[in-house]
Structure 1
Amino acid sequence: MEVREDMIGFYQRIDQPPYVHLTPGSPHINVFERASCVGIIPYSRRDYYKVSLIMGKGYLEFADKVIPIDRPALMFSNPMLPYHWQPESPDQQGWFCIFNEAFIRQRDELLTELPMFQLDTDKVYYPAETSVLEISFFFHKMMEENQGNYAHKQDILRNYLHLIVHHALKMEPARNYEQGLNASARITSLFIELLSRQFPIDSRQNELKLRSAKDFADQLAVHTNHLNRAVKEVTGKTTTEHIATRILLEANDLLRHSDWAIAEIGYCLGFDYPGYFNTFYKKYTGRTPRDERKHLV
């Protein structure tokens, strides 16, 4: 079975047909061979943390950095920072492990507190040959355990994952970054991706996390001025304009299609007080949220 890595359903077990659908929000970890995945991995939504042992040549793109991969590399990613993988050789081997926030909180939060999972730190490490063999062994054992039915196999997988992570902590991260010629386009693409992935707001617990240019710049590990220049250069619009337009679109959808109180809508969209939401909405539409909702009745 050939699949593209970004197309793997996070809540599906693809290694043992028929697929087992898992409940979103429940603790989950899964392990796959990279050889089962084909094609380019584009910037796309990912709701999970990921650890990959890449054995194959290519290029990784994070924000304004391009990292050439020309030897075995250990790569880390988190849900908030999209990346792009461009393979340069047909032979792509190795493994990758994906796990969600619920899996982390099931025992402790050590994994996400480690430097390689932070947004403004290095994501790629080049292990020595002996470490490659050890890390490969750990991934192989994880796949074996994942095939079984042992009631506590998630704990075993967690232990192997910790061993892989601590191998990385002993290494020096890769520093051979290249500044891509299309850095502005790539930063803008990442900004649009981060903005889009916050929507739709489909529950009262799903409030907006990123509302300002600084919020997005912090997530992308670039300076706010750098982000603003890139977005303006590529789209002709400011970062603030993009954010406001998307918030306004969501506000209209919630006013029209939900029975939430206006104050609740404003809070979920990142406004601490109803008056702030009213001011924002009136600035861009000429009327208040209450007027808009009455108009639709």
Structure 2
Amino acid sequence: MIDEIPGVNMADLRLQGFKVHTLPAYVDVPAVHGRRDFYKMGLITGEMTIGYGDEVLELRDTVLFFVNPRVPRSLLRRSRSTAGYACIFTDAFMPAIVKKSPLFNAGQNPLIRLNSEQAAFMTGIFQKMLAARDGDYAYKGDLIKSCIELIIHEALSIQPPVQQPFNGAARMTHLFMDLLERQFPIEHTAEPLRLRTAQDFAAKLAVHINYLNRAVKTVTGKPTSIHIAERIVAEAKALLQHTDWSVADIAYALGFAYPTYFNNFFKRLTGLTPKSLRKV
């Protein structure tokens, strides 16, 4: 479900698939947001702290930001002089570009810092989108898509993704990580996590478990089981902090047969019990 956003007509977003707006200069702090079912990109200048997944990012200059809806985040503005623009769009509105672009990769830092010339250029594109939004051009949706694509391509030219050798091990690791991430977010308690062990992933990928483990460990330095456990813990934290599901419902949704198993798993990896995290 799409949460309400100050200054944004959510009905229009649902209907059109996109929304472009100017960011307000000040939002009461803290402004906290969970996961949403849309992508977001923007240009922002100010001082703030952004919680993105398990990372805490400090912002004190002008940046482009790219938000993946699968990653829980929170926002704390610490300056009344914050300024900028944002564009929100659904996967249905821009399916190709969001799936191909590494900028929306859940594992990437979502911020790209800009110099004054780059910031001025990006400002012009966002202002073009705002003008299209308010105009009566019959193909404004296509024009907005073109602007989004231009921003993404310019951002990639400013900060190209690090290219890794794509050998057999790298390819297998990419397939594993993609399959792991596709299981999230967990949206309903009636649709529990299906792939929870290295053996489950090996079977799904039609490879021997030893080959999968060796490939993942070679490329990432961590065993397959650790990647799975860390991702389940990250999802558990998001569900505990951003839903009102019971601990038992969360346990079952994450594939645990009994809540006790989930409690022990969570405490072993985080040092906290699920209930204590909710009190933080």
TM class by shorter chain equals 0.5 to 0.7
Structure 1 match to 2:71: 81
Quote the Cα distance in structure 1 between the aligned partners of 2:4 and 2:10: 16
Q: Tell whether the 8 Å contact from 2:52 to 2:72 is kept in structure 1 after alignment.
A: yes
Alignment-mate amino acid for residue 52 of structure 1: G
Classify 1:84/1:210 alpha carbon distance in 2 versus 1 (closer, same or farther; 3 Å): farther
User: Does residue 7 of the first structure (1) align with residue 4 of the second (2)?
Assistant: yes
Using structure 1 for the length normalisation, give the TM-score: 0.56
The structure with more radius of gyration? 1
User: What is the CA–CA distance in structure 1 between the aligned matches of 2:82 and 2:98, rounded to whole Å?
Assistant: 27
Matched, 1:120 2:110: no
Cα distance per residue 1:16-55 (max 9 Å; x no partner): xxx683584x651111111266233313131100001111
How far apart are the structure 2 equivalents of 1:37 and 1:208? Answer: 40
Alignment of structure 1 residues 235-254 onto 2, 5 Å? 245-246=248-249
Aligned equivalents of 1:36, 1:99: Cα separation in 2: 22
Residue 21 of structure 1 is aligned with which of 11, 30, 34? Answer: 11
Would you say 1:93 and 2:90 are equivalent positions? no
Q: Provide the identity percentage.
A: 25
Aligned 8 A contact 1:211 1:243 in 2: no
Q: Distance in 2 between matches of 1:170 and 1:55?
A: 20
Q: Distance in 1 between matches of 2:119 and 2:24?
A: 17
5+ long unaligned stretches in structure 2: 161-182, 201-219, 262-280
CA gap of 1:84–1:134, structure 2 versus 1, over 3 A, is same
Shift of the 102–209 alpha-carbon distance from structure 1 to 2, 3 Å rule, reads farther
Q: In the alignment, which of 30, 41, 47 is matched to residue 19 of structure 2?
A: 30
Alignment-derived partner of residue 141 in structure 2: 154
Describe how 1:250-289 pairs up with structure 2 within 5 A.
none
**Residue aligning to 2:127:** 140
Distance 1:141 1:195, change over 3 A: closer
Q: In 2, Cα distance between the equivalents of 1:246 and 1:76?
A: 31
Q: What is the alpha-carbon root mean square deviation over aligned residues?
A: 4.3
- Alpha-carbon distance in structure 2 between the residues aligned to 1:166 and 1:228: 29
Structure 1 gap ranges (5+)? 1-5, 174-193, 202-206, 216-220, 251-268, 271-276, 285-297
Aligned residues: 204
User: Counterpart of 1:75 in 2: which secondary structure?
Assistant: strand
2:47/2:82 contact within 8 Å kept: yes
